[in-house]
Structure formats: structure tokens, C-alpha cells
């Protein structure tokens, strides 16, 4: 992976930078919060995309917003780059360190600050895990809706930065749809607060653009989230088919009939087998494709919808239908799906997780083509798929110790993503561009499109110090982007008055 050339001048100042950081974040009871030794840095060399690794210049673990503000002010002044990191679970290398960048670990921001049932909101620090939010409000029968499969570990700050989805976002939306407010530190050290326990925000929708901005615009230090009352009941169904096309039809028919399930997931045979070994969810072994469809709401509604979905599935020749009988069974149906990625680690030393989105209707042909590619690249692939919203996660299995396999897996992944784009989809549904899909951005966006996105970056971080090398294949200088281009010959309205 080609990364920006490290700035030798910054590396040369390492000891001064360390000294300053140690002043800002002093040593605590349990040791140093400024990590400088190579073994310690090694622990931070990669995120969830472990194929790409790089030792950071320094890691600092601040505990307060004020410390972050001082760190950023200092780094901005002398031109040191910053890479923020939450739980380090990005699957696109969003938190991949840089040799000349300070890595800002937000692990110590791990407290929930306020739970407000009357306004159905939670204020939390960004290092708190996604699942902890739901756990904290579960006694009052509330929950936080977006539930990425890594919810047990991924942090809320990271969720905002990546605009994480999950298995329930078909009905309840992504992070951006459930975010009420933020506190954030800009690269120049300014602290801004956006939104709060109310709907909508003042002026431009900065909450909207910070969601999914992959750490390029600021460092999130506090998050206000909308929580929802748990549905009266939720039941999950396992529906098996002998081929993926029928499963695809089933998904389309369910949605076409006006039903929006809480979640609708698809797994192929390999994925079913691998996860079954970890969770023993009782997934059927005699099906090629398994759908997990969850219906939630009032009891009467759910029973009615289950019957309708059953009819649809039967009509399409499903060869396996099982409806969860209780909460424990429903949870175990999901447990398999949620652990699907790492569970693949049981059957392969390494895997590469792809994350494209396609229009639902194109699913069968895309799956056929992926299988053809699997033959071509001589690499196995397991498919896990957010069927309801067309978000595809082929898991390409490879062995990093075998020469050339990683490169083959990457090439395979690229081909899948370009196929997604070809059929009207996009490069990434929820894992982000990061470094992984960075160089494919030019395949979907024109130079003008990318320039416009980078101009937004310029408004927040004109020196380009936050998480460089991610998202954009080339980072233009803001001065160059800011120039107004004179369009020759277009003065057709010279007769209109000036003000």
C-alpha cells in the first residue's frame, strides 16, 4: 500500500514532540500514556485490517478533551499528522498508523456520561463500545439501534467516523440517522459542539458530514445518541434455500410486499459452517443459502408478519424454515451471524473482508460472478450479506504466509468492488474507504467530485494533517483547490445587474 512519504523533518523532531506530549498527558498510576518504545508501538501497528501494518511515530492516550485540544494545537503548529484510533476494528485500515504521525488512542474515553430517558438520549465518550450503550439502557427496555457485527468491541467514536451500519439498519438507519450531537476537536485545537438532545442542527448539517468522515475532519470527544424503546417483541426466522437466486427473490418479494424487517441477512454454506462451529446456533447444514429475517414490533404485528414471510418463503420453495421461540434462541440466531467474520478465522489463517453495496435485484448475478472469480483467483470465498440493504461482504480466504496470496486476495477484492460499482452499487457500504479502497475512488468519482470532497476537508483541516493517506488517492493542497477557475467564454448574462 502506497502511503504518503514520511516527513523526515518531523521524525527528526521526535524527542521534542515526545517531551511536549508527556507534558500534556502526564504519566498515570498504571504507567505511561505516551508510548514510545517499539514493542509498545507494535501493539498499535494495525487495526482490523491486519494485512496493512505500520509503526506509528508515537502513541498518546489522552483522557480529557482539553488534552486533545492541546495536543492538536501543538501538532497543528509544527505540522505533525494525527491518526485517531478507537477500538482499532476498522476493516478498511482507517486507523492505520503513519510513520510520521502521532496516533491518538481514545481508549481512555470509556465512560457513559448521561442517560436521559425522558428525551430518549445518551451522552457518551467516544471510546465506549457500541454494545455498552444498549447494555446501559437495557434495564429500562431501551436500546441503541445501529448494531455493527463488531458491536461488542467497536467504539461509538469509530461508529460515527465510519457511519457504521449493522444488521438492523434496514429499518432503523445507520449511525448518522441516530446521532443527535457531537463534541469535536478541530485540528487547530478549537472545540466545537454540534446538536444536542434535540432534533436537527443549526446551519449546515455538520453532524451529517462528520458521520462517515473517517477521522479526516476532527477528533470526536463526545457523542449524543438517540435511543429507542425496545420493540415489544422481536422474532428471528431462519429460512434456507437451495440456491442464492431464490433467496434473493425472497428478499425482494418481502420488501416488495411492503414489509420492512428489522433485519434481513444472508449467509452462504461456508459462512454457515464456520459460524456454526463457534456458536452452535443450530443453523441447518443442508441448505446452500440461509436467510435470517427478523421481525419486530407489537406481538400481534409480528405474528402476522411472520406468517406472511413464511408464505413468501414457502411459495419460493424454501427447504428450511425455523422461527425463534424465545429471546435466547433469537439471540443465538444472531450470535452466529455477528461472529461470522472472525469465525472464518477458524477455517483460514487470514481473510480479506470485502464491503460493497449493490442494488438488491442484482444479487444473483453478482454471486455467480464472485464464484467465477473465486475459481479464477484460486481462493475460497464465503459470503455474508446484509440482504435487506444490498450490502455484500464476501470474505476472501488466503494465507499471508504463502507468497503472493495476499496480493491475489486484494486483486480479487478489487474485482468484486468494481463489479459492485458496475451494477449500480458503491465501493463501500459501511466499512469505509480507509486505505483499502482509497485507490479505487477514482473509478467511481471524477476528479471534480473528489476535489469537491477535499474542499470540505480544507474547511476543517486546511493543513491536511488529520488522517492523511486515507480516503483520497491524492491529496491536493488546499491553496490549489481554493483557486477560482475562470470559465472562458461563458458570460451570457452580462445584461443582468450587479450588486
In the range 249-308, which residues lie near another protein by CB under 8 A? 252, 255-256, 258-260, 278, 297-298, 300-301, 304-305
Minimal distance, residue 459 CB to another protein, in Å: 4
Residues 6+ away with beta carbon under 8 Å from 17: 10, 57, 58, 78, 80, 102
Residues 138-167 that bind another protein (CB under 8 A): 139-140, 150, 152-154, 162-163, 165
Minimal distance, residue 206 CB to another protein, in Å: 7
Dist CA 225 CA 122 (whole Å) = 5
Residues 363-392 that bind another protein (CB under 8 A): 386, 389-391
State which residue, 19 or 190, has the beta carbon closest to another protein: 190
Binding of residue 394 to another protein (CB under 8 A)? no
Minimal distance, residue 9 CB to another protein, in Å: 27
Binding of residue 240 to another protein (CB under 8 A)? no
Distance from CA of residue 203 to its chain's centroid? 26
Instruction: Decide if 47 contacts 431 (C-beta within 8 A).
Output: no
Q: Residue 453: helix, strand or coil by DSSP?
A: helix
Instruction: Decide if 287 contacts 242 (C-beta within 8 A).
Output: yes
Closest Cα to residue 104, out of 1, 225, 185, 160?
185
State which residue, 7 or 51, has the beta carbon closest to another protein: 51
Among 213, 318, 324, 383, binds another protein (CB under 8 A): 213
Sole window of 17-25, 265-273, 408-416, 444-452 interacting with another protein (rule: CB under 8 A): 444-452
Q: For residue 98, count other CB atoms closer than 10 A to its CB.
A: 23
Among 245, 371, 445, 475, binds another protein (CB under 8 A): 445
State which residue, 375 or 488, has the beta carbon closest to another protein: 488
Quick one: cell of 309?
A: 414471510
Binding of residue 186 to another protein (CB under 8 A)? yes
State which residue, 237 or 306, has the beta carbon closest to another protein: 306
Binding of residue 333 to another protein (CB under 8 A)? no
Binding of residue 324 to another protein (CB under 8 A)? no
Instruction: Decide if 405 contacts 292 (C-beta within 8 A).
Output: no
Main-chain phi, psi angles of 229, to 5 degrees:
-70, 140
Quick one: cell of 450?
A: 473528489
Dist CA 296 CA 344 (whole Å) = 29
Quick one: cell of 435?
A: 486505505
Query: What H or E segment, with its residue span, contains residue 132?
Result: helix 130-137
Residues 22-81 that bind another protein (CB under 8 A): 29-31, 33, 35, 37-40, 42-48, 50-51, 61
Residues 164-183 that bind another protein (CB under 8 A): 165, 169-170, 173-174, 176-177
Binding of residue 316 to another protein (CB under 8 A)? no
Binding of residue 15 to another protein (CB under 8 A)? no
Minimal distance, residue 189 CB to another protein, in Å: 10
Closest Cα to residue 432, out of 221, 215, 271, 222?
215
Sole window of 190-198, 283-291, 321-329, 363-371 interacting with another protein (rule: CB under 8 A): 190-198
Binding of residue 328 to another protein (CB under 8 A)? no
Binding of residue 403 to another protein (CB under 8 A)? no
Quick one: cell of 456?
A: 470540505
Minimal distance, residue 8 CB to another protein, in Å: 25
Contacts by residues 23-27 (CB-CB < 8 Å, ≥ 24 positions apart): 24/60, 24/62, 24/67, 24/70, 24/71, 24/74, 25/60, 25/61, 25/62, 25/63, 25/67, 25/71
State which residue, 34 or 80, has the beta carbon closest to another protein: 34
Amino acid at each position: 500500500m502506497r502511503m504518503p512519504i514520511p516527513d523526515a523533518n518531523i521524525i527528526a523532531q521526535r524527542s521534542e514532540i515526545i517531551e511536549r506530549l508527556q507534558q500534556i498527558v502526564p504519566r498515570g498510576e498504571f504507567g505511561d500514556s505516551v508510548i514510545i518504545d517499539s514493542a509498545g508501538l507494535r501493539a498499535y501497528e494495525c487495526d482490523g485490517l491486519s494485512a496493512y501494518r505500520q509503526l506509528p511515530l508515537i502513541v498518546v492516550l489522552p483522557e480529557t478533551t482539553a488534552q486533545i485540544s492541546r495536543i492538536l494545537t501543538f501538532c497543528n503548529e509544527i505540522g505533525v499528522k494525527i491518526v485517531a484510533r478507537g477500538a482499532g476494528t476498522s476493516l478498511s485500515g482507517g486507523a492505520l498508523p503513519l510513520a510520521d504521525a502521532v496516533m491518538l488512542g481514545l481508549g481512555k474515553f470509556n465512560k457513559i456520561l448521561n442517560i436521559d430517558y425522558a428525551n430518549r438520549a445518551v451522552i457518551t465518550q467516544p471510546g465506549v463500545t457500541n454494545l455498552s450503550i444498549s447494555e446501559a439502557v437495557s434495564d429500562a427496555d431501551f436500546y441503541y439501534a445501529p448494531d455493527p457485527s463488531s458491536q461488542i468491541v467497536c467504539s461509538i467514536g469509530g461508529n460515527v467516523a465510519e457511519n457504521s451500519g449493522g444488521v438492523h439498519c434496514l429499518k432503523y438507519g445507520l449511525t448518522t440517522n441516530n446521532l443527535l450531537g457531537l463534541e469535536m476537536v478541530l485540528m487547530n485545537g478549537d472545540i466545537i459542539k454540534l446538536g444536542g438532545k434535540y432534533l436537527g442542527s443549526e446551519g449546515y448539517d455538520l453532524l451529517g458530514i462528520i458521520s462517515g468522515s473517517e477521522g479526516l475532519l476532527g477528533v470526536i470527544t463526545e457523542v449524543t445518541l438517540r435511543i429507542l424503546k425496545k420493540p415489544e417483541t422481536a422474532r428471528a426466522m431462519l429460512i434456507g434455500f437451495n440456491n442464492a437466486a431464490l433467496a434473493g427473490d425472497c428478499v425482494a418479494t418481502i420488501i416488495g410486499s411492503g414489509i420492512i424487517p428489522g433485519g434481513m441477512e444472508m449467509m452462504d454454506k461456508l459462512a454457515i459452517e464456520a459460524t456454526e462451529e463457534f456458536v452452535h446456533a443450530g443453523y441447518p447444514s443442508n441448505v446452500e443459502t440461509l436467510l435470517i429475517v427478523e421481525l419486530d414490533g407489537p406481538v400481534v404485528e409480528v405474528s402476522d408478519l411472520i406468517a406472511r414471510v413464511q408464505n413468501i418463503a414457502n411459495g419460493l420453495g424454501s427447504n428450511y424454515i425455523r422461527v425463534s421461540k424465545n429471546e435466547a434462541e433469537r439471540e443465538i440466531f444472531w450470535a452466529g451471524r455477528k461472529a461470522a467474520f472472525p469465525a472464518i478465522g477458524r477455517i483460514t489463517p487470514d481473510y480479506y473482508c470485502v464491503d460493497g453495496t449493490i442494488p438488491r435485484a442484482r444479487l444473483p448475478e453478482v454471486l455467480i460472478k464472485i464464484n467465477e472469480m473465486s475459481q479464477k483467483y484460486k481462493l475460497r470465498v464465503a459470503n455474508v450479506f446484509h440482504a435487506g440493504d444490498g450490502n455484500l461482504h464476501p470474505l476472501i480466504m488466503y494465507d499471508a504466509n504463502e507468497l503472493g496470496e495476499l496480493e491475489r486476495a486484494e486483486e480479487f477484492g478489487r474485482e468484486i468492488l468494481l463489479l459492485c460499482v458496475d451494477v449500480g452499487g458503491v465501493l463501500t457500504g459501511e466499512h469505509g474507504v480507509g486505505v483499502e479502497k482509497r485507490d479505487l475512488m477514482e473509478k467511481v468519482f471524477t476528479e471534480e467530485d473528489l476535489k469537491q470532497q477535499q474542499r470540505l476537508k480544507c474547511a476543517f483541516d486546511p493543513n491536511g494533517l488529520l488522517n492523511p493517506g486515507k480516503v483520497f488517492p491524492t491529496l491536493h493542497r488546499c491553496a490549489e483547490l481554493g483557486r477560482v477557475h475562470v470559465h472562458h467564454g461563458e458570460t451570457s448574462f452580462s445584461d443582468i445587474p450587479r450588486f
